[in-house]
Structure formats: C-alpha cells, structure tokens
Amino acid sequence: MKRARGFSLIELMIVVAVIGILVAIAYPSYQNQLRKGRRAEAQSFMMEVANKQQQYLLDARTYALGGGALATLGVAPPSDLANFYTFTVTPAAPTVPPMFTLTATVTSGSQQAPDGNLAIDNTGLKTRTDASGTHNW
C-alpha cells in the first residue's frame, strides 16, 4: 500500500488561518511604528529649521517669515514627508520683538492624521495638537 505524500487541504487552510491571524495582529502595530517614525522625522526637520532661524536672526536681525521662509533659509522638507505634512512659517511679516512659529500641518486623510499637527516657536516651545488636545512633543 502506497502512502500519500504532501499536505492535506485542511492542513493548508489551518496554516493560512494562522498566518492571517498573525498579520491581523502585527499590521496595526507596524502602521503605528511607521507613523511614529514619520513624526520623529518631521520633528527633526523642524528642529533643523528652528536652528537655521536662530542663525538667520543673528545675521538679518529678523526671522525668515511667510511662504518663502524655508527657501530663504535654504532648507526643504524631506520628500517622504511631503505626502503627510505641510510646513508653514508664521507670521507673514516681521514683528517687534521678532518671533516665528513653524507648524507642520497633517495632510487630511493621510496615515498621520491621528498624530495631529506639530509646532515649534522661537522660544523653543514644542507642541503637538491632536484630537485629545495640545501636548508637548
């Protein structure tokens, strides 16, 4: 009598079910880690801009402001963040005393939406505003 070789359909279905359960558990954690990584990258970029702003203040006695501020400082947001955040510098015109606020606004409908908006100002105050309120980074 010959013995059959290979896997039965039931065994294959059990393996597929186990893999499906593992993926269902792991995928949300993976997405959460990606979101945290993008937030950390945005925060790092914002710190770089804040440092450039302080250097610019020493040279020009004002901060680079408005829509062209990032270009004036010679920085550009990382290309992989462009789909998730929009960076803006306010106010649009110089103030007395000089001040600025750099805001990273989450693109609506993106995977970063639960994270909320990030902001840093000339005093170094770093905030994150999400559905539950405003927090420090």
Candidates 81, 125, 76, 78; CA nearest to 100 is 125
- Measure the CA–CA gap between 120 and 25, rounded to whole angstroms: 35
Strands 133-136 and 85-90: unpaired
- Measure the CA–CA gap between 103 and 127, rounded to whole angstroms: 9
DSSP 134: E
- Measure the CA–CA gap between 10 and 29, rounded to whole angstroms: 30
Q: What is the pTM of this model?
A: 0.83
Domains of the chain, CATH where assigned: 9-136 (3.30.540.20)
Indicate the Cα dihedral angle 15, 17, 21, 23, nearest 10°. Answer: 70
* Beta strand ranges found along 50-136 (DSSP E): 85-90, 101-106, 117-121, 126-130, 133-136
What's the chain's Rg over C-alpha atoms?
Answer: 24
Provide the residue-wise pLDDT of the chain in tens; the chain has 137 residues.
677 778 899 999 999 999 999 999 999 999 999 999 999 999 999 999 999 999 999 999 999 999 999 999 999 999 999 899 999 999 999 999 999 999 999 999 999 998 899 999 999 999 999 888 888 88
